[in-house]
Amino acid sequence: MVPVRVVFMGSPEFAVPCLRALVTHHEVALVVSQPDKPAGRGGQLAAPAVKITATDLKLPVFQPRSARNGELRDALISTSAELAIVVAYGKILPKDVLAALPRGCVNVHGSLLPKYRGAAPVQWAVIDGETETGVAIMQLDEGMDTGPVYLEKRVAIDPEETSGELLTRLAPIGAAALLEGIAQIAAGAEPTPQDHAFATHAAMLAKSDGAIDFTLAAHAVAARIRGVDPWPGAQALHRGQIVKLFRAVMAPDGARTEGAPGTVTAIDAQGIHVRCADGTVIIRDIQAPGRKRLAAQQFAAGRGIAVGDELSKPALETPQ
């Protein structure tokens, strides 16, 4: 593989395997990441995972507050790199940034395009109950993930997999696909345009997306609980308090389904069984406010929940 001089642009943990793969096989002239942000109860500034990794690797890091004031464009041009690699950077790139380097910007995207364009493709694939997803290596243009695709890697979604677990599993697959894509680009390969007629959108999740509605079908409830894990987290109202729900699966056909949607119909070693519109979901773990996450049966043993209790959809704020 002939080394290519590149700029890497990314922020969260999902992007770290791609950065490490690039350092091993190519020349990384600059790493661009989001600015440090307040985190935790103390609100202290925390660096993005990509910045931490780049610092460990002794790579120069640039954290512009805007992609649109010319600073980012100028920084890319100054590196004399051929290509920018973008992995979950977190900002839409303007035309001058996209055109700053000779080969433009290539993106590692967590879906099989044109499905799930947008900020949260993995999460919405889980929420929607998809059985398959993947990683696409694509050329960025001015649209939202609308550029042509060099290659894709398909991955089956496990029936009990959370979006966080799937993201962790996709990250190294994306890194390997990226190296393959760069080799294709260096060899003069042309990407394939997307069929925009089949496009779907994967909007950034909001806090309100974690509010669980048990009047929906059981498969949709279980998928939603897994899809919003780890953020914003699945939440339901129980005895006047909001509890967090984890690791949901559909109950087998024939499970007890009496009661209104949201009613706890059984508690056993599998978890709490909760009635939905057309069946039952089993929730394996629960967390009460200010308490540790517990196995549902253990939570019930401490009188945290009982058969006959009801879980309902909470009102969660969404920023305007």
Q: Give me the amino acid identity at 93.
A: L
Look at residue 319 in the predicted model and tell me its pLDDT: 46
Tokens, residue 180? 């393959």
Look at residue 41 in the predicted model and tell me its pLDDT: 76
Question: CATH 3.40.50.170 spans which residues of the chain?
Answer: 5-198
- 85 and 178 Cβ atoms separated by less than 8 Å: yes
The label of the residue with tokens 């992995």 reads 87
Angle at 131 between CA 165 and CA 108, to 5 degrees: 60
Q: How far apart are CA 156 and CA 158, in angstroms?
A: 6
Half-sphere exposure of 261 (CA within 13 A, CB side): 15
For the CA atoms of 88, 138, 203, 161, the dihedral, rounded to the nearest 10 degrees, stands at -70
Look at residue 42 in the predicted model and tell me its pLDDT: 77
Write out the chain's pLDDT in tens, 320 residues. 789 999 999 999 999 999 999 999 999 999 999 999 988 777 888 999 999 999 999 999 999 999 999 999 999 999 999 999 999 998 999 999 999 999 999 999 999 999 999 999 999 999 999 999 999 999 999 999 999 999 999 999 999 999 999 999 999 999 999 999 999 999 999 999 999 999 999 999 999 999 999 999 999 999 999 999 999 999 999 999 999 999 999 998 756 667 899 999 999 999 999 999 999 999 999 999 999 999 999 999 998 999 999 999 998 865 44
Look at residue 216 in the predicted model and tell me its pLDDT: 97
Domain 207-301 adopts which CATH fold? Answer: Methionyl-tRNA Fmet Formyltransferase; Chain A, domain 2 (3.10.25)
Go through 109-123 and write b for each residue having 16 or more CB atoms within 10 A of its CB, e for each that does not: bbbbbbbbbbbbbbb
Question: CATH 3.10.25.10 spans which residues of the chain?
Answer: 207-301
C-alpha separations of 279 from 88, 238, 313 in Å: 37, 20, 17
Look at residue 255 in the predicted model and tell me its pLDDT: 60
Concatenating the DSSP letter of every residue in the chain gives: ----EEEEEE-SGGGHHHHHHHHHHSEEEEEE-PPPEEETTTTEEE--HHHHHHHHTT--EE--S-SSSSHHHHHHHHTT-SEEEEES-SSPPPHHHHTSSTT-EEEEESSSTTTTBSS-HHHHHHHTT-SEEEEEEEE--SSSS-S-EEEEEEEEPPTT--HHHHHHHHHHHHHHHHHHHHHHHHTT--PBPP-GGG--B-PPP-GGGGB--TTS-HHHHHHHHHHTTTTT-EEEEETTEEEEEEEEEEPPTT----SSTTBEEEEETTEEEEE-SSSEEEEEEEE-TTS-EEEHHHHHHTTS--TT-B-B--------
Domain 5-198 annotated CATH 3.40.50.170: yes
C-alpha separations of 212 from 132, 215, 259 in Å: 24, 9, 17
